[in-house]
Structure 1
Amino acid sequence: MEKTLIQPSIAALISSAIAIIYYRRKSLDLYGALVLFLSMTIHFAVGYRFGAMLLIFFCTSSKLIEDGEEKKRRMEAGLKDGRPNSWKRVLLNSGVAAVLSVAVGCLTGWEDKCLDSNESVLVTRLIGGIIGHYACCNGDSWSSEIGILSSERPWLITTSRRVRRGTNGGVTKIGHLSASAAGIVVGQTFALVGLHTTSCFDRMGMKELLVVPVSMVAGLLGSMIRSLLGATLQFSGFCVVRKKVVEKPGPTVRRISGCNYLGNDAVNLISILLTTLITSTACVYIF
């Protein structure tokens, strides 16, 4: 009963505070704030570790996007679409993990469980999926926002040909490092919060810290999957009139790479799903 009453109340308080703060800062519209509140409440109500991963992803990514917005506007015509302020964007970046969190809660009786395949392969797979989800989202966000602002000119991940900044599928060394660092942050958040809210370190020992390198690899993997999809199934071109990289073909647009099959949201969703699946499977064998 204590778990049932207290933790959801704390979850709602934390989530409402975060949603209100970002709504007032105009980082979220009203519906975006509502979806964030609901999703974050679900995460925290099931497990503090899950809510903390969503929180660290959302806060760091929002900060990076806001800091780089002015410089990116000079390079990309479609900047406005990339801001995480709508309910669709928030749902895209947290919806799958919210569903997995509910599944974990239902299977465990809303009790915190460890990454331990000997206890439950399915629960370990689901928790691993949530970790992979946020490592992917954070890795993609950090690599995109930091990589595009680096002095290094990106190269296309499929051909290694140098391309303009803002090209889908364009990668840089600093972008790869940023994706790895973003994954590490997610893994560390999971481990540190778990240290104070669960008994997993007492049961699993230092093996629990393996979540950090797993999350690091997931962050880099998610970013690379996103880049591969962007370079092949997402159009990139250079508009000779606006002098910017654009994502739609047109009479004034010179093709750089890719085909006009998928948009940003579809590419992001596929990369999230693939990384979630791969990480969940890996965790079964590691833990």
Structure 2
Amino acid sequence: MNMLICLYLSPEPLVISPTRWMMSCFIPLVIAVYGIRKRSINFSGAIFGFVVAFILTLSNYSFLAALFVFFVTSSKATKLRSHLKKKFEADYQEGGQRNWVQVLCNGGMAAQLALLYLLDVGSSERPIDFVKDYRASWLTIGVLGVFSCCNGDTWASELGTVLTNTDPFLITSWKKVPKGTNGGVSAMGTVFSCSGGLVIGVAQYITIWYFSDAARWDYAPPQWPIIFFGAWSGLLGSIIDSLMGATLQYSGLNREGKIVNHPSQSVKHISGRNILDNHSVNLISTVIMGLMMPTLSKTIWHLF
């Protein structure tokens, strides 16, 4: 791997330190074991998650920080007041255990961007500077956009449904719909989507500040917009997810008064068509945000 990186990317020989290799194996292993013990992921999710975390850790510690914050906070959010979620979600899974498909749809885009970072930039942490360090900055903000989108949407859907007593509005028609309906939005959920993205931005900002070369900060532009773009990614990603959920994802009410995602004769249609499932919506949202946020950030970063 070291030789491949050197041949492709850097005019000077680049060697990843043994410590970095060790941390890239040890930290993902700890996260995987923790996830299994806490029933946040199953075995297939742990295996795939290990691979994703390995790539993120090896390329940039700020990517690992984003993954870790997303994994821990979203797992806590999923389990919060789970007894209430059972009342309106027919397909609710106890403990919110993620499998390999969910790991792929939430972290696959970030892993691809991190791999490109590793091959193009190397194993390092660098402050955002679209003028002097364009490719590293573009890929870093791309990873920020992915995890902020995932975390913002998870916080909005998992916390917004159990911490408010009012029913949400369908984002396309603004009619009230039952809790758990795909595409349902609320004021509380909007706040949580911003907050979920914001904590990802804070995590990446702190990690870049701590691990990057201090000399680079003397010539780099202000870095605090990372936090702003994290919050913005959480909000925008949640909106994109809701729009697709309301139009391309089926929501219906069964005879027990619970939300189901597949049509049948005994189910009353609420919204959407049976085109995408929740995994597909998550995957498309992360791809969009992973490509959109670097372009948007590059365009307006100079305003800060």
Question: Given that residues 187 and 215 in structure 1 are in contact (C-alpha distance below 8 angstroms), is that contact kept between their aligned partners in structure 2?
Answer: yes
Question: Which residue of 140, 152, 176 corresponds with 1:162?
Answer: 176
Question: Which residue of 231, 244, 250 corresponds with 1:235?
Answer: 250
Distance change (3 Å), C-alpha of 1:204 and 1:70? farther
Distance change (3 Å), C-alpha of 1:2 and 1:122? closer
How far residue 79 of structure 1 moved from its aligned partner, in angstroms, is: 1.2
Kindly indicate whether residue 278 of structure 2 is the aligned counterpart of residue 264 of structure 1. Answer: yes
Cross-structure match for 1:180? 194
Question: Which residue of 205, 209, 229 corresponds with 1:214?
Answer: 229
- The CA deviation string for residues 83-124 of structure 1, in whole angstroms up to 9 with x for no partner, is 342111112111110111011111113232332111233332
Distance 1:93 1:278 in 2: 16
Q: Structure 2: any 5+ residue segments left out of the alignment?
A: 1-13
DSSP-derived class of the 2:259 partner: strand
How far residue 3 of structure 1 moved from its aligned partner, in angstroms, is: 3.5
Cross-structure match for 1:274? 288
- The CA deviation string for residues 180-225 of structure 1, in whole angstroms up to 9 with x for no partner, is 0111100000011111111367235671111111111110000000
Question: Given that residues 40 and 95 in structure 2 are in contact (C-alpha distance below 8 angstroms), is that contact kept between their aligned partners in structure 1?
Answer: no
Question: Given that residues 124 and 212 in structure 2 are in contact (C-alpha distance below 8 angstroms), is that contact kept between their aligned partners in structure 1?
Answer: no
Distance 1:84 1:216 in 2: 26
Give the counterpart letter for 1:25 in structure 2. Answer: K
Distance change (3 Å), C-alpha of 1:183 and 1:45? same
Distance 1:109 1:40 in 2: 16
Give the counterpart letter for 2:252 in structure 1. Answer: G
Moved more, 97-106 or 199-208: 199-208
Distance 2:177 2:26 in 1: 46
- Greater share of residues in helix: 1
Cross-structure match for 2:102? 89
Give the counterpart letter for 1:207 in structure 2. Answer: P
Question: Given that residues 135 and 215 in structure 1 are in contact (C-alpha distance below 8 angstroms), is that contact kept between their aligned partners in structure 2?
Answer: yes
Aligned residues: 286
Distance 2:177 2:52 in 1: 37
Cross-structure match for 2:16? 3
- Provide the identity percentage: 32
Kindly indicate whether residue 194 of structure 2 is the aligned counterpart of residue 191 of structure 1. Answer: no
Distance 2:95 2:251 in 1: 15
Kindly indicate whether residue 131 of structure 2 is the aligned counterpart of residue 118 of structure 1. Answer: yes
How far residue 280 of structure 1 moved from its aligned partner, in angstroms, is: 1.4
Moved more, 85-94 or 221-230: 85-94
DSSP-derived class of the 1:3 partner: coil
DSSP-derived class of the 1:256 partner: strand
- TM-score, length basis structure 1: 0.94
DSSP-derived class of the 1:135 partner: helix
Kindly indicate whether residue 151 of structure 2 is the aligned counterpart of residue 138 of structure 1. Answer: yes
Moved more, 108-117 or 6-15: 108-117
How far residue 254 of structure 1 moved from its aligned partner, in angstroms, is: 0.8
Question: Given that residues 84 and 90 in structure 1 are in contact (C-alpha distance below 8 angstroms), is that contact kept between their aligned partners in structure 2?
Answer: no
Kindly indicate whether residue 82 of structure 2 is the aligned counterpart of residue 69 of structure 1. Answer: yes
Moved more, 229-238 or 65-74: 65-74
Distance 2:282 2:95 in 1: 11
Moved more, 195-204 or 214-223: 195-204
Q: Structure 1: any 5+ residue segments left out of the alignment?
A: none
